[in-house]
Structure 1
Amino acid sequence: MLGGCISVKAPDKPIVIELNINIKQEVVYRLAADAAQTIDKNAGIF
């Protein structure tokens, strides 16, 4: 049998994980729902 040596070495630089989270769609949806409720409550103004 062949014997082997496994070497585990930490990287020199830190691992960087970039998270780009898009929350625009949720915010727009909530604003649209809120605007619809406001228009319904104040139909005479619009």
Structure 2
Amino acid sequence: MKLQLAGLCVALCAVMLSGCVPRIELAAPKEPITINMNVKIEHEIHIKVDKDVDDLLKNKSDLF
């Protein structure tokens, strides 16, 4: 009899605690998200040429 009463109490507690779960809702924002970016890109290319290649380019300018 005590075992049945203990089981009934456990079941009753489980039912009561199952109603205490918080409610979570996800919703999209009503206004669009705007991202303002000001980007400035600068680059420099430095080419170091071997002396032999440099002489070849000076002597035969019709290569390119």
Q: Shorter chain as normaliser: what TM range? A: 0.3 to 0.5
**What's the TM-score once normalised by structure 2's chain length?**
0.33
Task: Name the structure, 1 or 2, with higher relative contact order (CA <8 Å, separation 6+).
Answer: 1
Structure number with higher helix proportion = 2
**What's the TM-score once normalised by structure 1's chain length?**
0.41
